[in-house]
Amino acid sequence: MSRRNRAGAVLVGIAGSILLLASHRTAVAAQPFQYIQSSASTRRTGPLSAAEIEQILSQGVAQANKETSSFRPGGTTRMHIAIVDRSGALLGFRSMDDAWEGSKDIAIAKARTAAFFSSNQNALTSRTIGVLSQAHFPAATDLAGPLWGIGESNKPGITGGPDTRNALITFPGGVPIYKNGVLIGGVGVSGDGVDQDEAVAMKAAASFDAPAAIRVNTVIPVLPFTTATPKP
């Protein structure tokens, strides 16, 4: 084969590879992401049994049906509820009918925020991270909070998937969860006002609450753990 023919064959081969890659990407992009809707379809359970995942999700839905919505006149809230393990892997996800589509990613990020910044010795929530990242920190004079800019420092490349550790959330609705005093992950809720989100998250985490002795408001009283009041 002549040098010219060999060069032409190489170019044809490269072009074919590019077209094949492009068609593969198009095929992948055309497939919508499917969120896990119940514990029965979760990939893994990790530190929680399938029954415990179902318990947390069901507790959240029950509370959401009690909370008065800030945005739905005369109605109760419609929420997305996410459960993650300590590393941020999605363990369970539940969507209520007519909940905001954009709140899916937010619920996961809230759960991860609470899990990522808690440990066996300290318990923080997404509300805590929000206060610490304010431009004007409480009890300080015109000083930014110690976590100012954390939303920029912890940006990943892609958000929203079950495995991707999507960006942090600096407003309420994410709480850590514990078993026998050991951090096992977090619960995140989104779909209405942040106080309603947090109230639902608090009730979803019932029986998996952070020990009072390690909650941030016990250790550093000026910082909040949660402030929402769930409807009875």
Closest CA to 71 of 31, 40, 98, 42: 98
CB within 8 Å of 225: residues ≥ 6 apart: 123, 124, 125, 127, 128, 210, 215, 216, 217, 218
State residue 207 phi and psi, 5-degree precision.
Answer: 80, -5
Pick the CATH number of 35-219 from 3.30.160.150, 3.40.50.150, 3.30.450.150, 3.40.50.2300: 3.30.450.150
Question: Of 32-46, 127-141, 211-225, which range is least confident?
Answer: 32-46
Give one DSSP letter per residue of 67-103, joined into a string: SBPSSSTT-B---EEEEEETT--EEEEEE-TT--TTH
| pLDDT above 90: percentage of residues in the chain | 60
Question: Of 22-26, 205-209, 217-221, which range is least confident?
Answer: 22-26
Cα distance from N-terminal residue to C-terminal residue, the chain: 83
Distance of alpha carbon 200 from alpha carbon 84, whole angstroms: 16
pLDDT at 46: 77
pLDDT at 146: 67
Q: 144: burial class by Cβ within 10 Å (0-12, 13-18, 19+)?
A: middle
Question: Which of 78-103 are b and which e, b meaning 16 or more Cβ less than 10 Å from the residue's Cβ?
Answer: bbbbbbbbbebbbbbbbbbeebbeeb
Query: What is the pTM for the complete model shown?
Result: 0.77
DSSP secondary structure code for residue 123 in this structure: B
Residue with tokens 């068609």: 23
The model's pLDDT over 69-123, given as tens digits with 9 standing for 90+, comes to 999 999 999 999 999 999 888 999 999 999 999 999 899 999 999 999 999 999 9
What 3-state DSSP class applies to 36?
coil
